[in-house]
Structure 1
Amino acid sequence: MGEQGAKSLRGGKMEDVIFAGTSGRSPLGRAEVSLTIDNSDGALPIDYSEVTISRILFRSGQSEYQINGEASRLLDIQELLSDSGIGREMHVIVGQGQLDAILMATPEERRGFIEEAAGVLKHRKRKEKALRKLDSMQTNMSRVQDLTVELRRQLKPLGRQAEVAKKAATIQADLRDAKLRLLADDYIELSKTLTAEVADETALREKRSKVEAELETVRKREEALDSEAAVDSPRLVKAQETFYQLNSLREKFRGTQSLAQERSRFLAEEAEEARTAGRDPEALEAEAQTLRGEETALQSEVQMSRTVLTEASQALAAAEAALVAEENRIAAALRAIADQREGTARQEGHIKSLAARLDAMSEEIARLTKARDEAANRRELAQREYATHELEIASADSGELGLDAAFEKSKSDLAAARDAHQELLDAERTADRSRNAIESKLEALELSAQSRNGAAALLREPRGLATLGSLASLIEIDPGWENAVAAALGQLADAIVVQDISAAITALSTLRSEDLGQADVLVHHNQGSAAANLAGGLTSITAHIRSSSINDLIADLLGKTVVTETAAEAADILRSHPDVTVVTRDGDFFTKSRARGGSKSTNSLIEVKALIEKLRGELQTLTNECDRLKFAISTAAQEIEAKQAEFDLALSKLNESDARIAAITEQLAVAGQHMKSASAEVERLNAAIAETSAAKSRDEGELQSAQSQLTQSGEIANPDHSQADALREEVSNLRTTEVEARLAVRTTEERLHSLAARIKALVEAAVAEREASERAISRRGARARGAVISQAIAESAYEALIHIERSIAKAATERAALEEARSIREGETLSARARNRELTAELEILTSSVHKDE
């Protein structure tokens, strides 16, 4: 029911006891358990025969408790069940895992079980609860007392403030009366001013009415002019459009008239030309008949020329056949000679090409050998450079060892300097915080020492009293004995010292009259006092107190007070000497009839003074420590700067060394690449030289073989060309005869075709002339009619132009009149608008003047 631990309920958290849901049911938001108890015997202190206790646990972790359906606290349920013996810590119900704890219980735990069985546990719990309430109440009472003291201390200043408030109220009433009189005078003056302003406003209103009337007249006139402009503007636009349209129409009619006149003149001239053009068709037919006779004679001549051409062609064919046979014979002989000569020439060319190739190979071998030697030289140079760079890298690496060591040393020194500087900063911050804390505590203690009830008030303002000062300020105490002296003096530790009893009475009267609180006043008579006689082995507390002015007063107050280290020694001293007062070093106070001690919530003025002196010493020590740390921090900062400079120098040297090594490495790589490329080139050139030498050997052998073959070949005799030349001359003569016959046939045929074409053209021209004559007669009639129509159009256009000129003159007159009216109206409109603006500005000024005082 009231279990708060999830593990006792076999769960990881309290919400594990709530149904989490299944695949068919949704989870619940709470879990509830109820316990019903039969209370018919009245075992529970409640007026019910049956008691149902319920607990509802929500997923948020909150719980609700109910007794018979009424909400209640868990504490109420625990108290209800504690009287029945089944409370939260009762063992009437032993849970799982608790039996072994009961069996293995210690005697103290068994005592708890016995107290529970006897019914004592609930009373002990109630007692503890009551004691806690009493402690809380005591704390509240202390707080109330502090508030009461504070309020009592503030009552008198509040009374003075009340008197000041009364005086302020009287002054405020006088001030209010003076203000009312001033306001009355202001009212009279303002009334007079208002009367004058009303008269001025009336005149301004009348003037404004006149201006408004004139402005309305001007606006109406402006509206009328705008209306007239709205009516006349379309008319003017329409008149301008009519004028422009008439001008355009005039230009069109002028063009039409010019075009008609030009067309009439052109048609008349063309008709005259048509009458004189053309040839006679009869003359053309007669000429065609004459040409037909010539055509018949040319046809007979063509037939004869064709017979001659046939005979020449046959003779030419026979001569060409004989020439071809002779030429074939000669060609065969020449081919044999040519073949022999071609073989000889080919062999000679082959020999020459072999010789040229051998020369080229020799030159190539020489070039490759020279290139190989150069590549070998480059390889040797690259090898020397590579070796040089390797030596440089080795020397640079050996020189970098010292740089690495110097860099690591400067780096570690810089880190150590920074760590030391940070440690000094942390120490300085810690010391500064401690100093600030001590300063705050010292300031609070000094304020506490200055404001302690009435004694402090008298010390701040003596008010003419002959005070020597506070008791704490007049004595010096050995270190470590402040608590003992404060315990011995008790309330007198905060007392003040005066010179006589009258001063004491005056001081008390002042405290009572001014309500400054209470104070202890000690009277110093300065008459000397004999020191009290103490038994042997006892140490008076005055041995630890020194004063230059009130030793006798200290002896009177503490003459029979002795000091000891522990309370047990104090008890032994009281058994032997019951008439003395004993205080311990820790501040415990003992007499034969009472004792006072323990821890204190407040300190006496003596203890406060001692604590102030102690804190001042600590403050001075911390101040010195802060100054020392600041000097050490500045020294450490300078050392960091020096170490940083060393680190930067070592780093720069290391970077320079790395850069130099990187440059040498790059040069080494370049030299290696050059060496590899030179070696590869030497190998390639050696292979090329070997290949070229092998080819040269092969060509030399082939050259020797070709030269031997050329020496062994003989000569062939040339053929006879005389018969072929005679046949060729005969063929040439026959070809000339055949060509002349062919040309004669071609010329006669061309003349015949030309005559036939001319005859056909004359016949067609005669027919065309007859048809053209008929068409010309028809066209002359059409042109005559077109010329008449064009003349009529020109005359009509002239008459239309006369009417258009009259309309243009009328339209121009109307447009000029409308433009003149518009100019006059625009001038009047501008004047009206200018007057309107002037009246509007004047009206605004008048309106502002009328309403400026509203």
Structure 2
Amino acid sequence: MHLKSLTLKGFKSFASATTLKLEPGICAVVGPNGSGKSNVVDALAWVMGEQGAKTLRGGKMEDVIFAGTGDRKPLGRAEVTLTIDNSDGKLPIEYSEVSITRRMFRDGASEYEINGAKARLMDIQELLSDSGIGREMHVIVGQGRLSQILESRPEERRAFIEEAAGVLKHRRRKEKAQRKLVNMQANLDRLHDLTDELHKQLGPLARQAEAAQKASAVQATIRSTRVQLAAHKVKQLSEELNDSTRRSEMLAEQRAELQAELEEHSETLAVTEEELRTALEEAEAAKNLWYRLSAVQEKNSATLRIASDRAEQAQVAEWSGPDPQELLERAERAAEEQAELEENVEIAAEKLETIAEQVAEAEEAARAAEQEHFAQVRAIADRREGVVRLLAQHEAAATQRDNAAAEVERLQDNAAEQQETLDGLLEDITEAEEALRETEASGGDLEETRAQADREAAGAEERAEQLRAEQLQLERDIATAEATIAAWQDRLTPTDGAAVVVRAADKAGIATLRLAEQLHIHDGWGAAAAAVLGDAASSGIVAPLSDALISALIDAREGRAVLLDPSAPEGDASATFRLDTDVSAGKWLLDLMDVPADLLRPLTALLVDVVAVDSAAEARKVVAADPRLRAVTKDGSVYGAGWVASGSGGTTPVELADRIAAETEGVTKKKKELGDLQAALSGALDAASDLRTAAAAARAAEQEHRALRDAAAKRLGALQKQGDAAQRQLERSTAEQQSAEQRLAKATEELDELADRVARVDDEDHTTEPSSAERDAAALHLSQVKAMEMEARLAQRTAEERAQSTRGKAENLRRQARAEEAARKHHQQQQARRAAAREMATCVREQSQRIADRIADALATAEANRSQTEHAHKQWQTTMAQQRDKVSALTAQLGRMNDNAHTAELARTQAQVKIEQAVAGAMEQLGLTAEQLLAEELPEDFDAAATKAELKKAEKALNSLGKVNPLALEEFKALEERYNFLAQQLDDVERARNDLHEVIADVDATILQLFTEAWKDVEVAFPQVFSTLFPGGAGRLVLTDPDDMLTTGIEVEARPPGKKVKRLSLLSGGEKSLTALAMLVAIFKARPSPFYVMDEVEAALDDVNLRRLIALFEELRKDSQLIVITHQKPTMDVANVLYGVTMRGDGVTRVISQRMAPEKTA
């Protein structure tokens, strides 16, 4: 394995593409200081992955790009390609030749390639590390590196041996594993925190789950006892229902006579109302007619004013502006001037072209005169050298002419072959360009399609996430609302006296209902209703007025309760009774409540005197107007005659029931919204999935098209490069051919001249000096025609500038003329419209004046009619008021009669209501119908009191459990599953961490083995190399910590012959260089590398030490390739190939090579 070639393009001083063909053995790079020799070393280090700008002798990495000179512009990129001969297979790649390319651009972007394929820096470093070449670049010994080796720390010297032993890739693997360990530790800590937190939550949740399980068993017992009690109650009420169906037919005859009289007076009132309605319509019609005439009068007046104003304003104005015809004439003159100036420019150009031809002819004549004069001078000099020399020149010229003729013939054949090759490449380039155009055209808007697909997919996913968040929030709201409803329902359970009544009613088989659950209060009036209901709001029970219930309530002494009897007779007028008083300051509270029909009577009795008002002032006003009334505000303040009850006593069952109803309605709506939202989310997820698939397909199509386009562009670029190279080669060949032809012509001419001179040499007795008059005349003529050329150029430039200043002037004037013509036509049309508008306004003004007179007469007539109809309307109003008083008296009497009938009907339907209430309560609480309750078989020894006691005991046990989380069991199972899952994940992460520790241990063992073996070999080789460089001296390498081979450093001990020094700093410059070289060569021998680069390492050595170092070079080149940057001739003598590096005034480095003869390598 060896370096085969190095190609530099735009790297530092190598502005042009330069290739060094390297060969095995010693390759010496020579040249003057500053010519760019060390840039070759920098290029080798850079292409093999060097990342330090200071190592490359720069301030930043972009400094490697050619920065430009006075004659050449800076380049935009630097590129270096290193070709390695891998025929022995030392590199782990299946190629006999490996090409590594590194490319850098001005913007800092870098590219790496291996055999033309894109690669990473890591790929190149790993490829080279297997052959002993690492990122420390120990195989490249640059300027100042030798002193750096000795001055470095022991741990840094260790890195040279590790790199040669191939340890660095294992260290990178270890560092990668250690970074994974650090990242894994963060995840491990997070998992520990999560599992600890879940473990803390499991304990309380387990206790909640146990309580929920106990509560479930108690609730089953409660349901069983409630079912038995409900069945017992329904059967008792069914027996009572049969006794209460005969009580509702007693008052129908008494009501019929009163009803007939009321209907008679109502018919009379209806006739009066019809007459009043007719009078009202006539009055309204007269009033509306008067209003319409007044409005018409106002509109006509406005029309009259507007018409007068428009007639005065529509005046005709004259047009002022430039004349379009004058503008057109100016445009024509400008066009003529422009044409004349353009013609002057053409004349000046033709004159300049003629003078340029004269200049070319004058230059050719001057050159010919100069050559002729020179030929004459040279002929005289030749003649003076003698006849013998003339004859020798004649013979040499003949030989030169023959050689030139042969060269011309060879170059003509070569040019023909190259022209044929170039034609073929041009055809291939044309085909490649057409293929590239077709590929680009076929791409269309793939990029826009892909971008649009990505945007749509992102939008769909964002919409799905938004819907998912809304769904989660809605589910949380529903769960919160249902929990709130359940809590409020628990608070509605009867307590104190109400509970006593419920138990007593259940024992007696009487159906009961909670008053708070039967009412629906309009928005905002719940607190007011609770305040005026008093005990009925918190302890109101709907049940028949049974002495047994009242006695049980008194005997229990557990609190108060209010019983409301629903058994009012049908048609009882008292159910809808209102006090006969004015409540315009507020509303009856009963009108703000939705009450079941069977509760109208008791609630009317409780609240018939209550008026709902908005403020305290209105409340005091209502009470002052009628002391019988009570007034209540929204905040629950109750006002009476001489008293006020106010303040907050907490939330009452009435308010709770109202809140439960509102919250339940809200939950129903939210559940419907949740269903719609779930359907929308499903559709959004499907749409997002489809759009992601479409986006992926668009990206794939775009990538495929990009690959095809890049391949076509790459092929076109390669063909263009080949074509350019072929074109340049052809041009060089053509130039060489022309040069050869010129040499042939010149040789023939010289031969003829020499022959003539040989023939005339005997006849000429003396020579005369040639005249320079003809040459001076030609030079004078040349200077004159060049002056004429300069004047012609100035004249042409002046004409062009004048022509440029007038271009476009004519067209601008024409556009201005057209604009003025259009503006003048528009003004004329506008003046015509103004004249027509003035005539129209005058006509409208005259018509409006005539209409105003007629409207004034009609308005006077309408005023008289309005007064007459209003008087008739007032008379009918008086008559209707009298008849309404009569109907109201009869209605009040019939209302009282209806109240009595309703009382009787309420008594008849009381039993029916009780059983319906009992069945409704059973359906609401137990989900059982009347048929199911009647079919329920009770035990023969059923005791309602004992069963109620059992129920009370179970309820007490349930209450003792406190608030129970019904979802605790499911939450506990879910949390336990998550805890187990995280615990399993924790075990997996810990096992992975242990595996990484094992990997690090294995890597450490490998590093230890490789370093130890390499150290032993280097330790043995160093004294041998040192004794070669320092005959009679002694040197050795020592480990700083032999017990820790993984981190130990390396110290260098050196004692040149005749000296007893212990510190390396006391050595001379040459001794330091040789000691450092001894260490490097010992490493090279212990772990040979395919090649080494030495950059002026022998600069500080004398001839004796230089010969010793060259002897080591001779040993190294047996197994490795050496590239040596040198100024020393002995080093050049042992080289196989010499590379000469030069730099001309343009600041660009050039390289020439010379293969050395084999005998010079000895």
TM-score by length of 1: 0.37
Higher helix content, 1 or 2: 1
Higher RCO, 1 vs 2 (CA within 8 Å, ≥6 residues apart): 2
For the pair shown, the structure with the greater C-alpha radius of gyration is 1
